Chains A and B, each alone.
Chain A
Amino acid sequence: NPYAGLVSHLRAAWLSGKTRPLEYRVAQLEALGRFLDEKKQDILEATALDMGKPSFEAYFTEILLCKNELNTTLNNLSHWMKDECVDKNLVTQLDSAFIRKDPYGVVLIIAPWNYPIHLFLVPLIGAIAAGNCVIIKPSETTKNTERLIAEMLSCYLDNDCFAVVTAGVQETTRLLENKFDYIFYTGTSRSPSVGRIIMTAAAKHLTPVTLELGGKNPCYVSDTCDVQNTARRVAWGRFFNAGQTCIAPDYVLCSLEMQEKLMPALREAITEFFGSNPRESPDFGRIVGDKQFRRIRALLCSGRVAIGGQTDEKERYIAPTVLADVLPSDPAMQEEIFGPVLPIVVVANMDEAIDFINARPRPLAIYAFSCDSKVVNQVLERTSSGGFCGNDTLMHVTLTSLPFGGIGNSGLGKYHGKFTFDTFTHHRGCLHRSMGREALNALRYPPYSQQKLGLLTTTFEVKRRGMCTLL
């Protein structure tokens, strides 16, 4: 296996215990901070070349949000690493009981192309913070960013413990034949088969996984809402990164009246953001590759094009597009769009919207817009999704104290902030007893008797609060 040597090299480094001390982890994390600061321009340029990523967006997601995660981790790492003391029962009252935070060992992070720095760096921060050695496999689709990561990261991180592997599909398959102690994969749900392939490969070695996949994220807009603000927030979420965001609102569910009101509001928002010709706006991105471009273009024959619809294959440009009167059977409703196209599906009311959502695989995010908080809560309570944001889009993932992850087809596991540290940590239950007080243990030793059992029951039992616990 071409990667066996690399994996065992990293495993040897981990066994040496190098990554365990707090000082080491902090030093590596600070080096990552310097990478973001010093290579900021290179990152902005590489992402612009790869997919026309607007520099504001690139700065916000690839630099700013990453620094946020880094600072949260650095601020709290020593606290997170500490043994967590737990409540004890009567039998263990005089003992020391705690949860020790152990690293897993050698972990693999596989990143996608849509936020090529963010989606390997944020998991990497947690993996390093938890004391692991890491192999990073950036996406081969975004060639410039891949090269940047492969060439420059090694100048900042300890090469004994952290390595970057550039690989296409075949090589990644070989990479996955090795035993890892944790695998973290981010990919889209348009190929849920890849998530399954990863988990099946992990099963051969009993390797735990986190899979960040995707789905069709519904966006319900009720009849009572501030139409202009809603349109602006939905348009922002949909057209950010030219729609190539796993948590973007994928389609809108609303009544016929609301569709009529939303249309001019959406048009106005798009003009506000990108001007009258979005193609000339430096703030609107492009599709990452020809294959993806053609796939999204084929979805445009759903419903009717109410806004946008222009495309240019050479530039891989698809205009910010809104499709009206889309039917559930239309092409745009069969797969995650992952492009700047927003279908609107008309439903009669909120109940119908909820049934529509529940009849489909559970998505990564659900959005609901309403001035009536009861409506927002109803949608929240009667549906299931990775995460939920009321009256806005995308913003729930910028808060590092909220867990980010999917459910069902949209993924398993979660991260961001402390959740990333916990993902890459084995929580080891530890009980430290005394060698003395042996008389107390006599209750549990054979020969057994009814009398011993009675006493044992009393010491072990958890009583309902408010009940007498006297012997």
Chain B
Amino acid sequence: MERMQQVVGRARAAFNSGRCRSLEFRIQQLKALKRMVQEKEEEIVAAIKADLHKSGPSAYSHEILYVMQDLILTIDKLPSWAAPRPVKRDLLTMRDEAYVSPEPLGVVLIMGPWNYPFLLVMHPLIGAIAAGNAVVMKPSEIAENTARVVADLLPQYLDPELYPVVTGGVPETTELLKQRFDHILYTGNSTVGKIVMAAAAKHLTPVTLELGGKSPCYIDKDCDLATACRRITWGKYLNCGQTCIAPDYILCDPSIQSKVVENIKATLQVSVEFLVQWELEARSQISSFHIPPLNFPTFFELTLHGGARPSCQPEEVNTMACWLRVPHAVLLSYTVWPLLGLCNILFVFFFCQLIERVISETSSGGVTANDVVMHFFLSTLPFGGVGNSGMGAYHGKHSFDTFSHHRACLIKDLKMEFMNKLRYPPGSQKKVDWAKFLLLKPFNKRQTGLVILALLGIVAAVVMKVSFG
């Protein structure tokens, strides 16, 4: 297990050498990553297909498309994201330089899940590289083909010391977590999330945990059911239900329940043969460990007809098609609070006119109204959970900010010492009064007020020089 220590040690030495700090280097690495995705698209798609039985267009649109989008955005925006950000100054610091400087954290660990095995390691990697860090990647061993492809391809395009890929199962991951990192981003379930955070606590390492939850979907009875159900069906069965932000269950008025079922059936029927075959094959890939115990009431069951394979039992088909019984590794155990109370859930979806009320009276990682899943694709929205569904957020600039240290910088003049006399001992009431005047901002200050204050500040400085100088 010294291998882990060596890998991380090498990454840290490479980081300390300073070569990943320059913008040119970071952009060069990101462009290399982009070339990798373009040139090796077939290999990557084949690996995803082998792991999850996804078709070409599925694998591309679910995983590769979004990685490309994020790479292009990051390469374009990096110079502006990485630039020092000047801040508002007060009277005491008016002549000084004050800004926030985004800096790399150091060596970052990214642990990916198996449900979108390529997307969910690449996406954080982009932000981590952009922020100037060294990155240790640990793709999920369950999606073993994708893990192998990532481990093979990355060293061919990126600096292998700065961005090593570690493969392995639980023992290797446990050993990896004993090392010191400067940030850990974990995507997976909350049980392991707690283990990751406890390991991080030993080194005071900040974490971003992208966990899961039972994402509820509320359908108001006065909405266009056909459209709502079509969108829900798409989001639910995307990737065979193995999506952390898939609508997990529906909440609706009893009067529309049967219509909802009808609509979902109708949507599924459009490609039911395709779906059943897909689900059955995919299911066989997943180990039994991941199928959750069924300890919650089912709202309704959905029976599929047609397209079942001769080898599977009728109960299996029904089980597969039951709304709440699609195998979902992320759902091991959650605390689910009543919807109109507050829920620690990853996402809330709803189809209704009472949107503002649902948003204000619930709590969740994110929200999509009148659709499902789509907020994931808008990189300007922070993507992350709250409570049991996780902490921290990323996507787009939020990734860059997550993997950066925002260092406060104040550069003062060594001259103008008389300004400082105010704060030096011995103390006096006069000094206290001046301090109050200079520091306390008046309520509802406006632009013109600031100019007047600035002028007064200069006058005050001159007067102080005369009286204390």
Which A residues are closer than 8 A to B by beta carbons? 15, 17, 20, 54-57, 59-60, 64-65, 67-68, 71-72, 74-75, 86-89, 91-92, 97, 99-100, 102, 104-105, 181, 192, 195-196, 199-200, 202-204, 206, 208, 211, 213, 225-226, 229-230, 232-233, 236, 272-275, 281-284, 358, 369-371, 373, 376, 380, 384-392, 395-404, 407-409, 411-414, 426-436, 438, 441, 444-450, 452-453, 456-457, 460-465
Contact = CB atoms under 8 A, between A and B. Distances in A.
Contact of A86 (B202, B368, B381): B381
B369 A67 contact: no
B424 A273 contact: yes
Given A71-B440, A388-B407, A390-B411, A430 B391 contact: no
Given A431-B369, A446-B270, 11 more contacts: A56-B427, A89-B378, A92-B378, A102-B363, A206-B194, A232-B420, A387-B407, A387-B409, A389-B410, A412-B204, A441-B371
Contacts of B42: none
B439 A396 contact: no
Nearest to A448: B57
B381 A432 contact: no
Given A64-B440, A401-B87, A431-B378, A200 B190 contact: no
Contacts of B16: 358
Contacts of A281: 425-426
A408 B182 contact: yes
Q: Which of A200, A408, A414, A438 has the most CB of B within 10 A?
A: A408
A87 B378 CA distance: 8
Given A200-B201, A435-B351, A402 B87 contact: yes
B65 to A, nearest CB: 6
Nearest to B211: A206
A380 to B, nearest CB: 6
Nearest to A419: B406
Contact of A408 (B88, B98, B204, B436): B204
A109 B135 CA distance: 33
Contacts of A413: 206
Given A199-B201, A429-B382, A399 B423 contact: no
B277 interface: no
Contacts of A461: 65, 68-69, 72
Interface of B: 16, 55-58, 60-61, 65-66, 68-69, 72-73, 75-76, 87-90, 92-93, 98, 100-101, 103, 105-106, 182, 190, 193-194, 197-198, 200-202, 204-206, 209, 211, 223-224, 227-228, 230-231, 234, 270-271, 274-275, 341-342, 351, 355, 359-361, 363-371, 374-375, 377-384, 386-388, 390-393, 405-415, 417, 420, 423-428, 431-432, 435-436, 439-441, 443-445
A194 to B, nearest CB: 11
A334 to B, nearest CB: 19
Contact of A462 (B69, B193, B227): B69
Contacts of B383: 429
Majority DSSP secondary structure for residues of A touching B: mixed
Majority DSSP secondary structure for residues of B touching A: mixed
Contacts of A386: 407-408
A225 B393 CA distance: 44
B307 to A, nearest CB: 13
A203 B197 contact: yes
Given A272-B424, A427-B393, A391 B413 contact: yes
Contacts of A75: 441, 443-445
Given A102-B363, A438-B230, A392 B410 contact: yes
B204 A196 contact: yes
A213 B431 CA distance: 31
A391 B69 contact: no
Contacts of B87: 399, 401-402
A199 B207 CA distance: 11
Nearest to A410: B204
Contacts of A55: 427
A64 B410 contact: no
A91 B378 CA distance: 9
A461 B67 CA distance: 10
A274 B414 CA distance: 23
A407 to B, nearest CB: 5
A457 B101 CA distance: 35
Contacts of A376: 411
A206 B197 contact: yes
A395 to B, nearest CB: 6
B377 A91 contact: yes
A445 B230 contact: yes
A446 B98 contact: no
A438 B271 contact: no
A284 B425 CA distance: 9
Contacts of A181: 387
B182 A60 contact: no
A418 to B, nearest CB: 10
16 contacts: A64-B439, A104-B386, A199-B201, A206-B194, A236-B423, A390-B410, A396-B409, A399-B87, A407-B105, A407-B182, A426-B386, A430-B375, A432-B355, A446-B275, A447-B270, A453-B60
